[in-house]
Amino acid sequence: MTRSLYRYLGRSFRATQGPEGAELRHLRLLAWRREASVTRLERPTRLDRARAVGYRAKGGYSIVRVRVRRGGQGKRAIIAGRRPKHKGILQMTLAKSLRRIAEERAQKHYPNLEVLNSYWVGEDGKQKFFEVILVDPCHPEIVGDPKILWITNPSEKGRVFRGLTSAGREGRGLRWKGKGAERFRPSRARNRRDVRRTQTKVIP
């Protein structure tokens, strides 16, 4: 059975994550840590993954690598007397994933572009690195391509801040379907409003 080029590209990248690729991974992360937190790239590091989530090597597409600090939002210890569980220091988990935060930072850095998708490329003890795919909705090749023309709609403006990307939909709970997921659709806020409206409705 013939395998595609992207199958071998994905296998070679996974090989760098094992013990045999430790030296290459160390040099790569060493160079990435010295770069800016948002760095524009000429080509994606993981071509197979980039292609799978929507990237195309044509005009209007851009790739940026974003560095995000790992870990939760641990805070300084409170000196006044409290039970440890009530200090609010540990286990302060973010509501957004680090990948979603990386997408929002890329969007703020390039406000004239729109975030299409993103993927993980590496991490160390303190930081995670993601590559974000950006699309220029005014580029002639984007406007002339019916497969990506949808991103030029006014409703897609600032889509990353409204949870419309893949990472945003996952954070909103839209990956979960069936029983128990009723409160996530069409959104949590809309579901809460509907519940309040039915509770306050006066029945004659």
**pLDDT, tens digit, 9 for 90 and up, residues 102-122:** 999 999 999 999 999 999 999
Phi/psi of residue 66, nearest 5 degrees:
-120, 135
CA pair distance 186, 164, nearest whole angstrom: 12
* CB environment 127-162: b (16+ within 10 A), e (fewer): bbbbbbbbbbbebeebeebeebeebbeeebeebbee
Residue type, position 50, single letter: A
**pLDDT, tens digit, 9 for 90 and up, residues 150-192:** 999 999 999 999 999 999 999 888 888 888 888 888 888 888 8
Domain spans in the chain, listed from the N-terminal domain onward? 9-68+96-159, 173-204
Evaluate whether 135 touches 55 at the Cβ level (below 8 Å).
no
Statement: 9-68+96-159 belongs to CATH 3.90.1480.20: no
Q: What is the pTM of this model?
A: 0.85
The token pair that represents 65 in the structure block: 């690598």
Percent of the chain's residues with pLDDT above 70: 97
